[in-house]
Structure 1
Amino acid sequence: MASASSLQDSSSSWKVILLLTLGFWLSSILMLDGIVMPALYTSGMMTDPNFAIAGYSPFSLFNQIELLCAGLILTSILGLRYSQHPWNRPGWVTVLLSLLLLATALVDTYGFTPQMSALGLQLNWFVKSSQLPASMNQLHLGYWLFDGLKITANGLLLWLYNRKTNPVTMME
């Protein structure tokens, strides 16, 4: 009986970590994409020649936080999966969704953010450039698609782990 109780306590703490991390990540994505990005765009960030330097710092920091959140989510899902009775374990969909979140965070951190900042960086100070490269729009589209994917996966994981289920108890 003590081992069943410890399994329940362990899975409860993993679930709290998972739900708090998912909620934090989802709210920070929505805040960044819904408030910060439009405010920077309307304030004229894209026309400023130093926008790449100014934009790289907060987005790089946010991407590092995303990697931490993705690692916590994957760890807590695996902890939940293997601390429960085999009949009550969440399906492989949750593991695949958490791996998808980790992959998108890695692509954002090491793919999109460095490429966008490199394209926006003004290397020749003697020539004033007023327009963005055409490939910047493609990177923005990819960034927004990945953010939509992250929002969908976060919301789906929140829904899957927040719903009420009737667990199967161990027979004694």
Structure 2
Amino acid sequence: MSAVSGLISKRLSWPTITMFALGFWLSSSLILDLVIMPSLSAAGMMSQSGFAAAGYSIFSIFNRVELLCAGLILTSLLALRGTSNLYRHVRRWSIFFSLLLLAIALIYTYIMTPQMSGLAVQLNSWEPVNSMPPGMVQMHEGYWLLETIKLALGTLMLGWCYRDQRTLA
């Protein structure tokens, strides 16, 4: 019983919460982008008519998880305000980058995912799926640009939090 109460009384620090949220978000993004979607493409699922609905379901759920992670990161960095070495050194940049990460998650959730799914929907089930719709290529370019920015900023912030955690220990 004392082991359980010892775990409950031990508090998590805000830098730890930030690092966990960033690590989870970045690793799950990489798994989705570099494992799941290429696997579905290699299996030929992207050429089937129901892929737009399946893709929307996958990305809709993942986008909500991204919003939760971005909100948790912003909240934890605001909670660190004035109490952490990280906040003293890079206070404006960390808050700005976390707001930018939240904006990217909002763009994915409410702009890109619905538009890409709408472009991919096959309205005539008798026509075979030949290729990607013309607007989809531009949407993919925008997605990869935002994904690169997200991974770069997230990695930078993860490094800041890790360095801050090490200096506090």
Where in structure 1 are there 5+ consecutive unaligned residues?
A: 1-8, 168-172
Deviation at 1:107, TM superposition (A): 0.3
Paired residues in the alignment total 157
Give the residue type in structure 2 aligned to 1:14: W
Query: 1:149: which partner in 2?
Result: 149
What aligned pairs does 1:148-167 form with structure 2 within 5 A after superposition? Answer: 148-164=148-164
Q: Is the 8 A contact 2:21 2:69 kept in 1?
A: yes
Give the residue type in structure 2 aligned to 1:145: L
Q: Is the 8 A contact 1:17 1:76 kept in 2?
A: yes
CA distances 1:62-87 after superposition (whole Å, capped 9, x unpaired): 000000000000000000114458x9
**Which stretch shows the higher mean deviation, 98-107 or 157-166?**
157-166
Distance 1:117 1:88 in 2: 43
Query: 2:4: which partner in 1?
Result: none
Query: 2:5: which partner in 1?
Result: none
Point out 4+ residue stretches in structure 1 off by more than 6 angstroms: none
Query: 2:7: which partner in 1?
Result: none
Q: Is the 8 A contact 1:21 1:72 kept in 2?
A: yes
Deviation at 1:144, TM superposition (A): 1.0
What aligned pairs does 1:128-143 form with structure 2 within 5 A after superposition? Answer: 128-143=128-143
Secondary structure class of the residue paired with 2:13: helix
Q: Classify 1:76/1:159 alpha carbon distance in 2 versus 1 (closer, same or farther; 3 Å).
A: same
Distance 2:88 2:151 in 1: 26
Q: Is the 8 A contact 1:71 1:102 kept in 2?
A: yes
Q: Classify 1:125/1:14 alpha carbon distance in 2 versus 1 (closer, same or farther; 3 Å).
A: same
**Which stretch shows the higher mean deviation, 127-136 or 93-102?**
127-136
Secondary structure class of the residue paired with 1:58: helix
**Which stretch shows the higher mean deviation, 92-101 or 125-134?**
125-134
Identity %: 47
Q: Is the 8 A contact 1:82 1:89 kept in 2?
A: no
Query: 1:100: which partner in 2?
Result: 100
Secondary structure class of the residue paired with 2:101: helix
Query: 1:118: which partner in 2?
Result: 118
Distance 2:127 2:88 in 1: 64
User: What CA RMSD, in Å, does the superposition of the two structures yield over aligned residues?
Assistant: 2.2
Q: Is the 8 A contact 1:112 1:139 kept in 2?
A: yes
TM-score, with length taken from structure 1? 0.83
Deviation at 1:89, TM superposition (A): 6.0
Q: Is the 8 A contact 2:101 2:150 kept in 1?
A: yes
